[in-house]
Amino acid sequence: MRHSNRKHKLGVSSPHRSAMMGNLAVALITHGRIETTLAKARALRPFIEKIITLAKKAEKANDAARKLHFRRLAIARVRDKQAVAQLFDERVSEFVDRPGGYTRIYKIGQRIGDAAEMALIELIDGNDEGYGKPKKKAAKKATKKTAKTADAEEAAPAAEEAPKAEVAEPEAAAAAGETAATEAAPVAEEATTAAETAADSDDSDKTGDSETEKKDA
């Protein structure tokens, strides 16, 4: 099965591809930055990073035979002794403290002739700290948490005052009922007295009319 065994074929044979990678690696070690197609840059990245790893192993090795062994492995792949010597003797100190990611690729658009995607690939300087991770998402989460806590703090006093208000409302209603009853009592008494006087006046009128009728008869 061919799982996890992907290679950048680049449309050429295997010997042609290995020679191409060696030449690109020599140019990158010598100049520090080269311009090539995006496909070749992506294929060169794992190739040159393995060579740099060999240089790091040779730098950390205490045995001279081990150092020579790693250098010969790099020469077999790069096929240029001067470029390997420059990497192992001069530039390896830049990558000793870096755990990985020795190269960086920049896309620079399409080539005019055949519209191929072009890119710049460079060796990262040892003093380069790289791109920092964005902290906007963490800040948004923090603001959401603070907003939730503020809402909870505002809701807690309101919840404590709500039962007090509910208790106060029946008391206010009872007091209002008592005052309304006291105010309505004199009004009811006046209404009853007015009704009694009106009834007395009607009776007197009826008796007067009856007496006048008897006199006429």
* pLDDT tens sequence across 115-129: 999 999 999 987 777
The shares of helix, strand and coil residues in the chain, as percent rounded to the nearest 5, are 70, 10, 20
* pLDDT tens sequence across 145-174: 666 676 677 666 655 655 555 545 555 555
Please list the alpha-helical segments (H only) found in 61-135.
64-78, 81-86
Instruction: Report all structural domains of the chain as residue ranges with CATH numbers, in order of start.
Output: 14-123 (3.90.1030.10)
CA dihedral for 90, 46, 23, 57, sign (positive or negative)? positive
| 103 touches 128 (CB < 8 A) | no
pLDDT at 217: 44
Report, as an integer, the average pLDDT of 86-105.
92
Q: Which residues contact 107 (CB under 8 A, 6 or more apart)?
A: 38, 117, 118, 119
Q: How far apart are CA 103 and CA 123, in angstroms?
A: 5
User: Which backbone phi and psi does 2 adopt, to 5 degrees?
Assistant: -105, 40
| Lowest-pLDDT range of 16-25, 47-56, 177-186 | 177-186
Inter-axis angle of helices 14-31 and 64-78, nearest 10? 120
The model's pTM is: 0.59
Q: How far apart are CA 162 and CA 168, in angstroms?
A: 10
